[in-house]
Structure 1
Amino acid sequence: MTTSVSAAPEQPTPTTDNISRPVSLLSSVDKIRSSLPSDDLVDEEEEQFSWTTAIFRRKQIVHPDPDAIATKRAVFDDPDLAPHYWPKKDYENLHRFDPAARWTYGEERKALVRKLDWKIMLMAAGGFSALNLDRNNISQANSDSFLQDLGLTTDDFNLGNTVFRTTVTACLEANWPGSLDPNADLPLDHFSALQGGYIPDLILYLSYFYTKTELPVRLALFWMSMNFCAIIASFIAYGTLHMDGVAGAAGWRGLLTLLIGFLSFFRMPPSPTQTKTWFRPNGWFTEREEIIMVNRILRDDPTKGDMHNREGLTLRRLWTAMCDYDLWPIYIMYAFPLIFVRIGPHETQRPHVWYPEHSPINVSHFTTQGHRALGMVTMFLITIVSEFVNERSIVSMMEDLWTLPFLVALYALPSSPNPWIFFVVVTGLLSYPFVQIYVASDAPRCTKAYYIWRNRQRARIWDAMTTQERAHYLSTTKDVGNRRLDFRFAH
Structure 2
Amino acid sequence: MSVGHKRKIEDEKEPTAVKEGSETCSDLETTGSPGSHPFSDPVIADYYRKEYEEAKYECRHAFDPSLTWTKEEEKRVVRKLDWHIMGVIILIYAAFQLDIGSLVQAVADNMLTELNMDTNQYNLGNQLYSFITLICELPVQLVIRRFGADKVLPCQLIAWGVLVLSQAGLRNHYGFYVTRILCGFAAAGFMTTVSVWLTYFYTSTELAFRMALIFATMTMDQVVTSLLAFGVLRMRGLCNLSGWQWLFIVEGVLTFIAGSVALLIMVPSIVQTKNIVYRKGWLSEREQLIAVNRILRDDPSKGTMHNRQAITIKELLRALRDYDFWPIYLMSLIMYFPESVLTPYLPLNLRSIGFSAIKVQLMVIPPFVIHTASMLLLTRISQIVDERALMELVPAIWKAVVLGCLRWWPGSFVDQWGTYALLVALRSTPSCLPIYLGWNSRNANSVRTRAVAASAGQFFFKCGTILAQQVYRKDDAPVYHRGNLILFCVNIANVPLMILTKFYFMWRNKRRDEIWDKMTEEERQRYTMYTTDEGNKRLDFRFAH
Q: TM tier, shorter chain?
A: 0.7 to 0.9
Q: Distance in 2 between matches of 1:81 and 1:373?
A: 48
CA contact (8 A) 1:66 1:105 kept: no
Change (3 A) 1:278 1:441: closer
Q: 1:93 aligns with which of 30, 55, 59?
A: 59
1:48 aligned partner: 16
* Residue 69 of structure 2 corresponds to residue 103 of structure 1: yes
* Residue 377 of structure 2 corresponds to residue 372 of structure 1: no
Q: Distance in 1 between matches of 2:318 and 2:225?
A: 40
- The TM-score normalised by the length of structure 2 is 0.69
The structure richer in helix per residue is 2
1:234 aligned partner: 226
Compute the displacement of 1:258 (Å).
Answer: 2.2
What amino acid does structure 1 have at the position aligned with 2:234?
H
* Residue 287 of structure 2 corresponds to residue 322 of structure 1: no
* Residue 266 of structure 2 corresponds to residue 263 of structure 1: no
How many residues in Structure 1 have an aligned counterpart in Structure 2?
A: 436
Q: Distance in 1 between matches of 2:326 and 2:73?
A: 40
Q: 1:484 aligns with which of 519, 538, 544?
A: 538
What amino acid does structure 2 have at the position aligned with 1:265?
L
Q: Percent identity?
A: 34
* Residue 406 of structure 2 corresponds to residue 410 of structure 1: yes
Compute the displacement of 1:148 (Å).
Answer: 6.6
Compute the displacement of 1:343 (Å).
Answer: 4.2
Q: 1:77 aligns with which of 40, 52, 58?
A: 40
CA contact (8 A) 2:29 2:36 kept: no
* Residue 418 of structure 2 corresponds to residue 421 of structure 1: yes
Q: Distance in 1 between matches of 2:116 and 2:150?
A: 35
1:455 aligned partner: 509
Q: 2:329 aligns with which of 314, 331, 353?
A: 331
Identify unmatched segments of 5+ residues in structure 1: 1-42, 55-62
* Residue 94 of structure 2 corresponds to residue 129 of structure 1: yes
* Residue 85 of structure 2 corresponds to residue 120 of structure 1: yes
1:5 aligned partner: none
What amino acid does structure 2 have at the position aligned with 1:478?
T
1:297 aligned partner: 295
Compute the displacement of 1:242 (Å).
Answer: 2.8
Instruction: Give CA-to-partner distance per residue, 1:282-338, whole Å, 9 cap, x none.
Output: 11111111111111111111100110011234322221111111221221221223x
Compute the displacement of 1:118 (Å).
Answer: 1.2
Larger radius of gyration: 1
Q: Distance in 1 between matches of 2:231 and 2:70?
A: 50
CA contact (8 A) 2:233 2:246 kept: yes
Change (3 A) 1:363 1:268: same
Compute the displacement of 1:406 (Å).
Answer: 3.6
What amino acid does structure 2 have at the position aligned with 1:94?
R
Identify unmatched segments of 5+ residues in structure 2: 1-8, 161-185, 444-497
Change (3 A) 1:153 1:278: same
Q: Distance in 2 between matches of 1:185 and 1:471?
A: 41
Compute the displacement of 1:273 (Å).
Answer: 0.6
Higher RCO (C-alpha 8 Å, min separation 6): 2
Where 1:489 maps in the other structure, the secondary structure is: coil
Q: Distance in 2 between matches of 1:137 and 1:431?
A: 20
CA contact (8 A) 1:80 1:467 kept: no
Aligned Cα RMSD in Å?
3.8
Compute the displacement of 1:173 (Å).
Answer: 5.0
Compute the displacement of 1:225 (Å).
Answer: 3.7
Q: Distance in 2 between matches of 1:46 and 1:389?
A: 10
CA contact (8 A) 2:148 2:307 kept: yes
Q: 2:146 aligns with which of 171, 179, 191?
A: 179
Where 1:252 maps in the other structure, the secondary structure is: helix
CA contact (8 A) 2:395 2:429 kept: yes
What amino acid does structure 2 have at the position aligned with 1:424?
A
CA contact (8 A) 1:355 1:362 kept: no
CA contact (8 A) 1:73 1:299 kept: no
Q: Distance in 2 between matches of 1:390 and 1:101?
A: 28
Where 1:102 maps in the other structure, the secondary structure is: coil
CA contact (8 A) 1:174 1:200 kept: no
Q: Distance in 2 between matches of 1:172 and 1:234?
A: 33
Compute the displacement of 1:372 (Å).
Answer: 1.8
Change (3 A) 1:466 1:182: farther
